[in-house]
Structure 1
Amino acid sequence: MKPIGTSKLRIHLLFWILYYILEVYLDFYWSRYQFPDFSWQLRLQNTLMLELGYLLIKVPLAYSLLYVYENPAIKRFSKYFLGLLIIVLAVLVHRFFTHFIMYPYIYGVTETLDGKELSGYINGLVAFNSFMDLIFMVGLVFGVEITRQKNVLKEQISQLKSEKLDQELTMLKAQINPHFLFNTLNNIYGMALKKADETPEVILQLSKVMRYNIYEAAEKSISVRKDLENIRDFIQIQKIRYRHLSMNFTEDLDNPSQEISPLILIQFVENAFKHGVSESLGEAFITIKIVLKNGILTYFIENSKEEMLHKHSTKIGLKNIRRQLELLYPKHSLIVEDKSDRYIVQLIIDFNDTFRA
């Protein structure tokens, strides 16, 4: 977010430039009828000087009223009294400038009303005209400032929501990472007990997965290609342990560089092993299909499981992943089928219509 002070200065400076141009145009157009004998060059010169003089009155008036209005230390009744006093003083100064400076020194004539010369600068009708001119300007300034403050408030609220979202996602990822490492280390522990020759290879694979979880997963988004590479590494570790596993992994990506939040897809693969393959007594299978076409990701994963083994399973991580999907991709589609002999997940993410990618 841009610094509030800088933004306010820029907006108000732009307002006064546009306001000055508008007033010059209106008074220059009016001077054609008020001073028909003047050349346009002289009328333009007089109008530029005139409006500069009025700005010296209007700018202090506007910000004096803004100060009174925005100052929480000033009570309501005092705000009304001070506001009225400031406006009255501004009208008097406005009339003084118009009567004693503008007409005699800028236009070189005496101020008149209905063809009659004004002997003094206080007159009910002309004072009302000055009041309306000043109030119109004050209304514009207050409108600009209130609109600016509302926009700043919206930006602040949006920033707070974004920060809260980032904090919640960080917390959810922190909950997922230990769960992933817990399952993987259990696999290596089992192999170490058996003194399997493949143990060093699995450790090497694990180092790649660890590198991904520590560095890549810390990013808000990564490419689908990198995410799938991590899934393959994870599967490679598991396949060494589960030799009875029938694994079918297919992918069809038209844009492998498409960004996705890390640690979403792998959580379903992890559950497929933890709540399916690891508990299977006979042949087990996992089928994974990933299709990315025109910004739409379709992710299908099916795994075998033993009947009724999941009755009391908490499936740690599934609740977290649902929450991540709600935060990152509000219009996603997630269908989970827990059948007697298999577990099926189908996830669809439309990257063309996401809140945060």
Structure 2
Amino acid sequence: MKPIGKSKLRIHLLFWILYYILEVYLDFYWSKYQFPDFKWQIRLQNTFMLELGYLLVKIPLAYSLLYVYEKVHIKTVFKYALYIGIVVIAVLGHRFFTHYIMYPYIYGVEETQDGKELSGYINGLVAFNSFMDLIFMVGLVFGVEITRQKNVLKDQFSQLKSEKLDQELTMLKAQINPHFLFNTLNNIYGMALKKADETPDVILQLSKIMRYNIYEAAEKNISIKKDIENIQDFIQIQKIRHHHLTINFNENIDNPSQEISPLILIQFVENAFKHGVSESLGEAFIHIDIQLKDGILRYCIENSKEDRSHEHSTKLGLKNIRRQLELLYPKHILSVEDKTDRYIVQLTINFNDTSSL
């Protein structure tokens, strides 16, 4: 977000430049009727000087009223009285500049209204014109400032919302199966006692998984190739515990560098092991199919289950995943089929849809 002070200064400076140009144009156009004998170069020069003089009245008026509006906290009746007092002083200053400086020193003539001397009635009319000129300007300044403040609040709200969502995502990612590490270490310990040849490979795979979860998963997005490699490492470690498990893993990726939020896809695999395969009494299976074509991801996991599976635990895991998908890919399509002997999960994400990035 841009610094508020600098942003405010730029906006107000631009406003006064545009306002000055507008007033110069209007007064220059009016002067050809008021002073038809003056050359246009003289009229333009006089108009520039005239509007600069008026800014000496208008700018203090605008920011005095803004200051009272934003900073002065008094009873409403006294606040209105202060507004009126500031406007009256500004009108008198406007009239003084017009009558005693503009006409005699800039235009070189006495101020009149339609050729008439400024009588009491005409003086009141001219003062009213000055009042309307100033009020018009004040309205523009307040409109610009209120709009700017609303935009600042909108940006701050968006930033806070984004930070809140980031924190929520971080919290949700941290809820991924906390027992995986401990179970794997126990298995490695058992393998080490047996002096199994696979022990170094398992340690290496665990190291890769931990590096991914600690460092790479902290990124907002990562290549789908790395995400799939992490899933494959996870599966290899799980095979140590599930000797009678049949796993079919199929991938067809046309763009390995396609970015995806890390730790989304693996959660479905974790659920398949935790709430399906680990509770199966017979031959367990997991079928995983990952297809990415033309920016559209189709991800399907099918795993065995027993009727005694803890459905409540499964729903908690899916609730976590659904929330992450809602935050990251609002237009995703997720279907979960809970059949008698298996779960079938299908996820579709369209990476071409910018609203889901």
Provide the TM-score with structure 2 as the length reference.
0.93
Q: Note the residue ranges of structure 1 that are not aligned, 5 or more in a row.
A: none
Matched, 1:278 2:295: no
> Which residue is 1:47 aligned to?
47
Residues paired across the two proteins, number: 357
Q: 1:89 to 1:179 in 2, by over 3 A?
A: farther
1:355 Cα deviation from its structure 2 partner? 4.8
Deviations, residues 230-277 of structure 1 (Å, cap 9, x unaligned): 111111222344343322222222332222111110011112122233
Q: 1:328 to 1:123 in 2, by over 3 A?
A: same
- Amino acid in the other structure paired with 1:206: L
Secondary structure, aligned partner of 1:331? coil
- Kept in 2, the 8 Å contact 1:330–1:354? The answer is no
> Which residue is 2:348 aligned to?
348
> Which residue is 1:293 aligned to?
293
Distance 2:163 2:265 in 1: 24
Deviations, residues 97-146 of structure 1 (Å, cap 9, x unaligned): 00110011101111111211337898111001000000000000000000
- Kept in 2, the 8 Å contact 1:304–1:342? The answer is yes
Deviations, residues 68-123 of structure 1 (Å, cap 9, x unaligned): 11125233222101100000110011001001100111011111112113378981
Greater shift, 47-56 or 174-183, is seen at 174-183
- Amino acid in the other structure paired with 1:17: I
Distance 1:346 1:314 in 2: 15
1:292 Cα deviation from its structure 2 partner? 1.9
> Which residue is 1:230 aligned to?
230
- Amino acid in the other structure paired with 2:329: Y
Distance 2:216 2:311 in 1: 35
Provide the TM-score with structure 1 as the length reference.
0.93
1:51 Cα deviation from its structure 2 partner? 0.3
> Which residue is 2:32 aligned to?
32
Distance 2:183 2:353 in 1: 34
**Identity, % of aligned positions:** 84
Greater shift, 185-194 or 284-293, is seen at 185-194
Secondary structure, aligned partner of 2:110? coil
- Kept in 1, the 8 Å contact 2:177–2:270? The answer is no
Secondary structure, aligned partner of 1:282? coil
Q: 1:311 to 1:52 in 2, by over 3 A?
A: closer
Q: 1:311 to 1:292 in 2, by over 3 A?
A: closer
Distance 2:252 2:126 in 1: 79
Deviations, residues 149-196 of structure 1 (Å, cap 9, x unaligned): 000111111111111111111111122162443454455456457653
Q: Note the residue ranges of structure 2 that are not aligned, 5 or more in a row.
A: none
- Kept in 2, the 8 Å contact 1:328–1:356? The answer is yes
Q: 1:141 to 1:246 in 2, by over 3 A?
A: same
Distance 1:223 1:239 in 2: 25
Greater shift, 254-263 or 220-229, is seen at 254-263
Secondary structure, aligned partner of 2:33? helix
> Which residue is 2:84 aligned to?
84
> Which residue is 2:198 aligned to?
198
Distance 1:13 1:312 in 2: 61
- Kept in 1, the 8 Å contact 2:350–2:356? The answer is no
> Which residue is 2:155 aligned to?
155
- Kept in 1, the 8 Å contact 2:224–2:258? The answer is yes
State the Cα RMSD in Å.
2.2
Greater shift, 264-273 or 235-244, is seen at 235-244
Matched, 1:106 2:99: no
